[in-house]
Chains A and B, each alone.
Chain A
Amino acid sequence: MNDAVDPFEAIKVTFFQECDELLGDLEAGLLAIESGAADDETVNAVFRAVHSVKGGAGAFGLDALVRFAHVFETLLDEIRSGRKPCDDVTVKTLLRASDVLADHIAAARGQAAPVDEARSAALVAELEMLTHGEAGVSAAEVAPEAVAVVEEDEFGFRPVAFDFAALDIPDEAPAPTPTATAWTVVFRPHSRMYAHANETGLLLRELGRLGPMSVSLDISALPDLDQLVAEEGYLSWTVAIETDAGEAAIRDVFDFVESDCDLSVRPLGAVETGTASASAPADDFDVAALLARAQAEVVVPAPAPAVIAPTPVLAPAPTPVAAAPSPAPATVAPSAPAPAQPAPAVTIRVDLDRVDRLINVVGELVIQQAMLAQRVIESGLARSSGISVGLEDLELLTREIQDSVMAIRAQPVKSVFQRMPRLVREVGEMTGKRVRLVTAGEDTEVDKTVVERLAEPITHMLRNAIDHGLESPDDRVAAGKPAEGAVRLVALHRSGRIVIEISDDGRGINRERVKGIAVSRGLIPEDAVLTDDEIDNLIFLPGFSTAETITDVSGRGVGMDVVRRSIQALGGRISIASTPGKGSTFTLSLPLTLAVLDGMVVTAAEQTLVAPLTAIVESLTPRVQDIHHVGGHDAVIRFRDEFVPLIDVAMVMGFRDTPVPPASGVAVVIETEAGARAALLFDAIQGQRQVVIKSLETNYQQVEGVAAATILGDGRVALILDVDAIVANARRKARPDLTRSEPSRPDFKLAS
């Protein structure tokens, strides 16, 4: 697949992908710490995230990123080891540091402008002050945790945190009690062993299968850099192991290398125990690192000395302790963060194209199945016949396959939600308001395309909520509210759609002002009588902005009309509910997928059309006495004591020139996303059907009044109606003035 891609670039791409994930973990972790929901593992996870970023960045020579990450990480390490308290101030600083780290990564990626150096430097200073503010850095031991990380060295190498459990080796390394089953193994490989492509890490792993062990590395034989011979074996390992297997089993492990190393296996004695445990903690992690590499490179075992060699070369004056743990991780830095993840869910990365191809084919299958079913019905076979029964089973299976395939594309909205805390912090800072963001339902899943296209509207609406919705802290206190405003961002599933709610506890919509502005901008006539809801909906009009002065935050020339358009483009609706003094709630309702749609199949002037089921309120047969004409020939129909416009779809679509008597057709009452109702007149209703959405734009262009196309059971293309556009269009033709809640503007072109 990627033959043409430079492997280094490919790894870099992977690194940045991982950075995204790591940043997500980082932020989530910090927020957990902030809210007090953190445990030790959270702090470790946060540390690991920064550490992994730094390591990878080092491998790619991204110096600015490495420098920042290093300072960041140093403070985190202090906190992790308990030498620094993690108070409120610190967490706030860490959060801002994570923002800058994200900026550094974006800049390194070439996606964003270079990082604001002043901001970065200020944070570095802040971080350093927090780090060195109190007790000096002690050369304390690494916390002996199951999942721990080797102390970083100063050269940008990225040690790999490693979980022993993943290798089925007991991670606890208690000093073995001197019983008959405890052994001390001293293992000193010669260079020959490495030349024969044997691997200490693998041998030790093998040994670990025999029982709990503790390993210490002796590097005393390691010469200074200028005397170091890369191919020589300088290292020796002392292993204290508890096993029932006996000496023979232990020697068996080294069977193939026995002649290429010095090996001694003895029952555990007091002297060895002492040395082993003294250096155990740090050395444990060396083994971990080596094992990690063995794990990662098990297919291509390389002689260890060759791997060690780069360290001294890159690091002019390494202290032996720093040099020893680092070589292995350095070689695998870009590709092996996986072992560090606790209890990972089993996932695979799949090219999106492949998934989409599968979805397309399944779409075809659904169509084909529908065609087959139709043919069988046409052939007049009895319902109880074997073919019909088999076909029903096939339909169930097809539906299940389709659902499963759709589930592959489904993603939690978390990836979007995770970006919002930063936004809220920044907007809060800019506007001088105190804001708390509460999110819920991050795990709600929706199609990947929908997720991606949600970020912008949500960003915009959160900005609005803080900038326009929330009052300043003083005003809030005066109004008897807590100084800190709350903004809620919630996702949930409701009747086959995903609903996103963005609410604030601010001042609510100032209807007087909204109406005044709408009048002054000529959006509504001065004498228009509007309900509260209608006034609230005015903010969705193009060219409407309530901010008296254009602010940096939300006055960027785009308003809620843009939000509404982008939501509509996804087949969604947006609505607002506001209570003066209590706050506003924006509700987005979106389809779970852009691939299928539940529709009502109808006919109009010989043409088969599909109306989205979500828009349909009711269908009815028009009675002559219910139909009235307002003014010239704008028909309205009575629907539950309400008169709604009656729109002859075939006429609007240009499928016929002369109207037919309404009573001969079927009226389908629909509701537009703005809540306006209308009745669409069709010739007949064929039934309800799930249809596969096909884009018209792929090969043609957008067509007004048409949301998309689909392929029906007879193999022909049917158009899916954009009911909102049809209603807007009919009204535009009929009356340009505003009489109902959904104001339509002549320049309003529907994005479908």
Chain B
Amino acid sequence: MTETFAPTPANGAHRELIAFRIGEQEFCVDIMSVREIRGWTPATPLPRAPGFMKGVINLRGAVLPIIDLGARFGLRTSEPTARHVIMVAHIGGRMVGLLVDAVSDIIQLTDEAMQPTPDIASDHVKSFVKGIFAIDGRMISLIELEHIIPETEAEAA
């Protein structure tokens, strides 16, 4: 819960990002939106939920939905194991667990280093990817977390 990260510098030049891996691909999200990282625990499935919705887990008394990011991006998915990682992220006032293969590192980049998403990417992927960074020959896609949670269905009204 405690937020110990320093706020982003006022000029906005530097970004701190958490990089993680799903399969062979690398992604990153703004470090400010990640609250904690924890190991996989079996989730309670929800009825008739979309495939990427792994279910809900107990996070110190709160019910936390778990989204399989790989499935959300339309990548291949595997049954989660103890080696998988849940990044607890704060998205639009909600806490959501993001299931990924592994968290690789924390990177500092400037906005100028961000390149637009190439056109060859499918529309589906493009809707989640804000831009890409090239570091040491690696390609890391910056994820727009706001689009991760599907629009609430009409029944929530």
Q: Please name the 10 residue pairs, one residue from A and one from B, whose CB atoms are nearest each other, closest first.
A: A653-B47, A700-B65, A717-B44, A749-B155, A699-B94, A701-B156, A709-B63, A694-B63, A717-B56, A701-B152
- Give the number of A-B contacts (CB < 8 Å): 81
Q: Is the CB of B47 within 8 A of A706?
A: yes
Q: Is the CB of B47 within 8 A of A718?
A: no
Q: Contact mask B74-85 → A, CB, 8 Å, 1/0?
A: 000000000000
Residues of B within 8 Å of A, CB-based: how many?
A: 26
Could you say which residues of chain B place their CB within 8 Å of the CB of A750? 155
How far is the CB of A363 from the nearest CB of chain B, in Å?
A: 7
The reply to whether the CB of B23 lies closer than 8 angstroms to some CB of chain A is: no
Q: Is the CB of B47 within 8 A of A704?
A: yes
Q: Contact mask B84-122 → A, CB, 8 Å, 1/0?
A: 000000000011100000000000000000000000000
Q: Is the CB of B47 within 8 A of A699?
A: no
- Nearest-neighbor residue (CB-CB) of B152 within chain A: A701
The reply to whether the CB of B8 lies closer than 8 angstroms to some CB of chain A is: no
Q: Contact mask B38-52 → A, CB, 8 Å, 1/0?
A: 000011111111000
Could you say which residues of chain A place their CB within 8 Å of the CB of B44? 607-608, 709, 716-719
The reply to whether the CB of A364 lies closer than 8 angstroms to some CB of chain B is: yes
Can you sample 10 A-B contacts with CB below 8 Å? Answer: A363-B61, A653-B48, A694-B61, A698-B94, A701-B153, A703-B49, A705-B48, A716-B44, A717-B43, A717-B58
Could you say which residues of chain A place their CB within 8 Å of the CB of B155? 702, 704, 749-750
Q: Is the CB of B95 within 8 A of A699?
A: yes
The reply to whether the CB of B148 lies closer than 8 angstroms to some CB of chain A is: no
State the CA gap A702–B55 with chains docked (Å): 13
Could you say which residues of chain B place their CB within 8 Å of the CB of A719? 44, 46-47
Could you say which residues of chain A place their CB within 8 Å of the CB of B46? 696, 700, 703, 706, 719
Q: Is the CB of A364 within 8 A of B61?
A: yes
Could you say which residues of chain B place their CB within 8 Å of the CB of A704? 47-48, 155
Could you say which residues of chain A place their CB within 8 Å of the CB of B47? 652-655, 703-706, 719
Q: Is the CB of B63 within 8 A of A717?
A: yes
State the CA gap A608–B43 with chains docked (Å): 12
How far is the CB of A733 from the nearest CB of chain B, in Å?
A: 12
Q: Is the CB of A749 within 8 A of B154?
A: yes
Q: Is the CB of B56 within 8 A of A709?
A: yes
Q: Is the CB of A697 within 8 A of B156?
A: yes
The reply to whether the CB of A264 lies closer than 8 angstroms to some CB of chain B is: no
Most B CB contacts (10 A, CB to CB) among A700, A702, A705 go to A700
Q: Is the CB of B63 within 8 A of A699?
A: yes
Could you say which residues of chain B place their CB within 8 Å of the CB of A363? 61
Q: Is the CB of A711 within 8 A of B58?
A: yes
The contact of A696 among B42, B48, B63, by CB within 8 Å, is B63
- Nearest-neighbor residue (CB-CB) of B46 within chain A: A703
The reply to whether the CB of B32 lies closer than 8 angstroms to some CB of chain A is: no
Most B CB contacts (10 A, CB to CB) among A695, A705, A716, A750 go to A716
State the CA gap A58–B155 with chains docked (Å): 49
Could you say which residues of chain B place their CB within 8 Å of the CB of A709? 44, 56, 63
Which B residues have a C-beta under 8 Å from some C-beta of A? 42-49, 55-58, 60-65, 94-96, 152-156
Q: Is the CB of B61 within 8 A of A695?
A: no
Could you say which residues of chain B place their CB within 8 Å of the CB of A652? 47
How far is the CB of B52 from the nearest CB of chain A, in Å?
A: 13
Could you say which residues of chain B place their CB within 8 Å of the CB of A431? none
The contact of B58 among A696, A706, A716, by CB within 8 Å, is A716
- Nearest-neighbor residue (CB-CB) of B95 within chain A: A699
State the CA gap A709–B49 with chains docked (Å): 15
Mark out the residues of chain A between 724 and 752 whose CB falls within 8 Å of any chain B CB in the assembled complex. Answer: 749-750
Q: Is the CB of A698 within 8 A of B152?
A: no
- Nearest-neighbor residue (CB-CB) of A752 within chain B: B155
- Nearest-neighbor residue (CB-CB) of A708 within chain B: B63
User: Provided the pairs A655-B47, A704-B155, A716-B42 are in contact, do residues A699 and B61 lie with their beta carbons within 8 angstroms?
Assistant: no
Most B CB contacts (10 A, CB to CB) among A367, A653, A695, A701 go to A701
State the CA gap A628–B151 with chains docked (Å): 42
The contact of B61 among A367, A700, A716, by CB within 8 Å, is A367
The reply to whether the CB of A360 lies closer than 8 angstroms to some CB of chain B is: yes
- Nearest-neighbor residue (CB-CB) of B155 within chain A: A749
- Nearest-neighbor residue (CB-CB) of B42 within chain A: A716
Could you say which residues of chain A place their CB within 8 Å of the CB of B154? 749
User: Provided the pairs A367-B61, A699-B95, A700-B94 are in contact, do residues A654 and B48 lie with their beta carbons within 8 angstroms?
Assistant: yes
State the CA gap A590–B18 with chains docked (Å): 47
How far is the CB of A64 from the nearest CB of chain B, in Å?
A: 39
The reply to whether the CB of A274 lies closer than 8 angstroms to some CB of chain B is: no
Mark out the residues of chain A between 237 and 261 whose CB falls within 8 Å of any chain B CB in the assembled complex. Answer: none
- Nearest-neighbor residue (CB-CB) of B151 within chain A: A701
State the CA gap A699–B92 with chains docked (Å): 10
The reply to whether the CB of A715 lies closer than 8 angstroms to some CB of chain B is: yes
State the CA gap A687–B42 with chains docked (Å): 23
How far is the CB of B8 from the nearest CB of chain A, in Å?
A: 24
Mark out the residues of chain A between 630 and 678 whose CB falls within 8 Å of any chain B CB in the assembled complex. Answer: 652-655
State the CA gap A102–B129 with chains docked (Å): 54
State the CA gap A695–B64 with chains docked (Å): 10
How far is the CB of B80 from the nearest CB of chain A, in Å?
A: 15
How far is the CB of B69 from the nearest CB of chain A, in Å?
A: 16
User: Provided the pairs A704-B155, A717-B56 are in contact, do residues A698 and B48 lie with their beta carbons within 8 angstroms?
Assistant: no
Q: Is the CB of A698 within 8 A of B156?
A: no
How far is the CB of A713 from the nearest CB of chain B, in Å?
A: 11
Could you say which residues of chain B place their CB within 8 Å of the CB of A715? 58
How far is the CB of B138 from the nearest CB of chain A, in Å?
A: 32
State the CA gap A367–B63 with chains docked (Å): 13
- Nearest-neighbor residue (CB-CB) of A718 within chain B: B44
Q: Is the CB of B63 within 8 A of A698?
A: yes
Mark out the residues of chain A between 50 and 91 whose CB falls within 8 Å of any chain B CB in the assembled complex. Answer: none
Most A CB contacts (10 A, CB to CB) among B47, B56, B57, B153 go to B47
How far is the CB of A364 from the nearest CB of chain B, in Å?
A: 5
How far is the CB of A493 from the nearest CB of chain B, in Å?
A: 29
- Nearest-neighbor residue (CB-CB) of A719 within chain B: B44
Could you say which residues of chain B place their CB within 8 Å of the CB of A697? 156
Q: Is the CB of B63 within 8 A of A695?
A: yes
How far is the CB of A639 from the nearest CB of chain B, in Å?
A: 25
Could you say which residues of chain B place their CB within 8 Å of the CB of A696? 46, 56, 63, 65
- Nearest-neighbor residue (CB-CB) of B154 within chain A: A749
Could you say which residues of chain A place their CB within 8 Å of the CB of B42? 716
How far is the CB of B147 from the nearest CB of chain A, in Å?
A: 16
- Nearest-neighbor residue (CB-CB) of A749 within chain B: B155
- Nearest-neighbor residue (CB-CB) of B153 within chain A: A701
Could you say which residues of chain B place their CB within 8 Å of the CB of A717? 43-44, 55-58, 63
Q: Is the CB of B63 within 8 A of A360?
A: no
User: Provided the pairs A716-B44, A719-B44 are in contact, do residues A699 and B65 lie with their beta carbons within 8 angstroms?
Assistant: yes
